Structure 1
Amino acid sequence: MQFLELKNFLDHKVEQYNRVDFIPNDPICIPHLYKKKQDIEIAGFFAAILAWGQRKTIINKCKDLLNRMDNAPYDFMMNHNDEDLKGLLNFKHRTFNDTDLLYFTSFFKKHYQQHDSLEQAFLLPKNDDEVLSLGKDQFKKHLTIEGSLNHFRSYFFSLEDFPHRTKKHISSPKQKSTCKRLNMFLRWMVRNDTQGVDFGIWKTLQSSDLICPCDVHVDRVGRLLGLINRRQTDWLTAVELTDHLKQFDANDPVKYDFALFGLGVEKIL
């Protein structure tokens, strides 16, 4: 396809898939169960991290998890006792188990005791040694989603005695991962979606800086449409895809996630 033809095709597919009837069959339906900002963040984070396998199974597992928290995740994180934690035991989805879940719970409690939003966990602290060593131009360049994701993983595992096994559930560009789940979570929280799908409740990170979640469907369709040329699939692949999508819409490149994912799931190409 020529540039304009491909743009029009993808724009049409965004309109087709980026609508409220997309929500019930996608993991994003989980944070949509809540109104309070912190509940949306916590439920959305779990839904994104557990987004592995069939969507129906993911949704059921997330509902099971939140039911163990009396469907009030923020209140649970802040006010749980040892007896409450017993209700989390034996939870499992794929390789995510109750050991991981208990650490996630400890992290959320610690974080929300100090911050009002999970967004702060993705923002580089101004007194960070790495930030202080950067010049003005370097600092501006460093304030990217790549820097945010690398910082988040380090911050997430800053509690003492974190389980080593849990590290596999939080990816980062330093590991050359596409960071599909975290990029999806960031899309949900950051992107200001007039169609009512994404939440747009975070205001410091910008939609123009987001990286397109690159799962198997998006990767396959992206290659078929010539939006990915890189042979392997890693962080640079997600960046390459996003750079191509920015040619269609520099302010909101990740809206095309709806188009690529929808085309992949329905196997239209």
Structure 2
Amino acid sequence: MRDLKGFLDQKVEEYNQPGFIELDPVSIPHRFSEKQDIEISGFFAAVLAWGQRKTIINKCLELFERMDHAPHDFLLRHQEQDLKAFLNFKHRTFTATDTLYFLDRLSRFYREYDSLEEAFLPKATTEIGMETRLIHFHERFFDDPDAPQRTRKHIATPARKSACKRLNMYLRWMVRQDDKGVDFGLWRQIKPRELICPCDLHVDRVARKLGLITRKQTDWITALELTDKLREFDPDDPVKYDFALFGLGVEEKF
């Protein structure tokens, strides 16, 4: 296990570098400098992260071009007629119906709060785990009784046993704090030690080959199993190993 930790630590150093950014969806929020713009663009980039990375990036650029590359300002100031620009936006199964709901929900949220982090902070007096945070976020995002049923599938929740890979990736971007320049570390009320490793196809495959996952299916319990293993290597920042597992899978075809 010590040899495995050393190997993965080496790969973290190799891939947790600015060179990682250009070809990854994290490049989208890196195009912005204002906190809210980073949050909003990162959220959409994570939600739309299906398929080839190049396609994901291009679709995100297309989406933000329709917001004049100022998403926070657009959410706060747009007029009804401005929404017509999104009626033909589509990425895989994410359609105009979903886009318009997301824009409306985020608009209402940012008129009340300064940061999207607030949506992941249930009011509770006891210590909150990530499972509770993600379930709370899903419930809050769809607290509108008129929310389209079809749109709910685009925000995963542990309540449906999902591994929540896109949300966990987004939270990594917003929460992890280091000096490497990839993740942003904008949010401080959620701690890096709470994060759950995103179990995408590449991470899942490499983690199984390395013996970090034994569960047959890939679901929320699998994500917890992997993260618990990674906490043995670094209890304060287990999800930094996402860089190693993803890099091994995508770049090295491990």
- Per the shorter chain, which TM-score range? over 0.9
Which amino acid in structure 2 is aligned with residue 232 of structure 1?
Q
Which amino acid in structure 2 is aligned with residue 16 of structure 1?
E
Question: Counterpart of 1:47?
Answer: 45
Give structure 2 stretches of 5+ with no counterpart: none
The two structures have a TM-score, normalised by structure 2, of 0.98
Residue 218 (structure 2) pairs with residue 220 (structure 1): no
Question: Counterpart of 1:145?
Answer: 130
Residue 18 (structure 2) pairs with residue 31 (structure 1): no
Question: Counterpart of 1:168?
Answer: 153
Report the alpha carbon displacement of residue 89 of structure 1 after superposing the two structures with TM. Answer: 1.1
Report the alpha carbon displacement of residue 268 of structure 1 after superposing the two structures with TM. Answer: 4.0
Which amino acid in structure 2 is aligned with residue 188 of structure 1?
W
Residue 243 (structure 2) pairs with residue 245 (structure 1): no
Question: Counterpart of 1:187?
Answer: 172
For 1:16 and 1:77, how far apart are their aligned partners in 2? 37
Report the alpha carbon displacement of residue 166 of structure 1 after superposing the two structures with TM. Answer: 0.1
For 1:228 and 1:70, how far apart are their aligned partners in 2? 43
Q: How does 1:1-269 map to 2 (within 5 A)?
A: 3-126=1-124, 139-140=126-127, 143-269=128-254
Report the alpha carbon displacement of residue 193 of structure 1 after superposing the two structures with TM. Answer: 2.4
Give SS of 1:255's match.
helix
Report the alpha carbon displacement of residue 160 of structure 1 after superposing the two structures with TM. Answer: 3.3
For 1:66 and 1:93, how far apart are their aligned partners in 2? 13
For 2:46 and 2:110, how far apart are their aligned partners in 1? 19
For 1:88 and 1:189, how far apart are their aligned partners in 2? 26
For 2:64 and 2:147, how far apart are their aligned partners in 1? 22
Which amino acid in structure 1 is aligned with residue 223 of structure 2?
A
Report the alpha carbon displacement of residue 4 of structure 1 after superposing the two structures with TM. Answer: 1.1
Q: Deviations over 1:22-79 (max 9, x none)?
A: 0010000000000110000000000000000000000000000000000000000011
Q: How big is the alpha-carbon RMSD for the aligned residues of Structure 1 and Structure 2?
A: 0.9
Give SS of 1:25's match.
coil
The two structures have a TM-score, normalised by structure 1, of 0.93
Give SS of 2:204's match.
helix
Report the alpha carbon displacement of residue 266 of structure 1 after superposing the two structures with TM. Answer: 2.4
Report the alpha carbon displacement of residue 164 of structure 1 after superposing the two structures with TM. Answer: 0.7
Which amino acid in structure 1 is aligned with residue 141 of structure 2?
F
For 2:145 and 2:108, how far apart are their aligned partners in 1? 12
Report the alpha carbon displacement of residue 159 of structure 1 after superposing the two structures with TM. Answer: 1.8
Give SS of 2:249's match.
helix
Give SS of 2:147's match.
coil
The runs of at least 4 aligned residues of structure 1 exceeding 4 Å deviation read: none
For 1:97 and 1:196, how far apart are their aligned partners in 2? 32
Give SS of 2:22's match.
helix
Which amino acid in structure 2 is aligned with residue 48 of structure 1?
A
Give SS of 1:116's match.
coil
Q: Deviations over 1:109-148 (max 9, x none)?
A: 111111100000000024xxxx7xxxxxxx32xx011100
Give structure 1 stretches of 5+ with no counterpart: 132-138
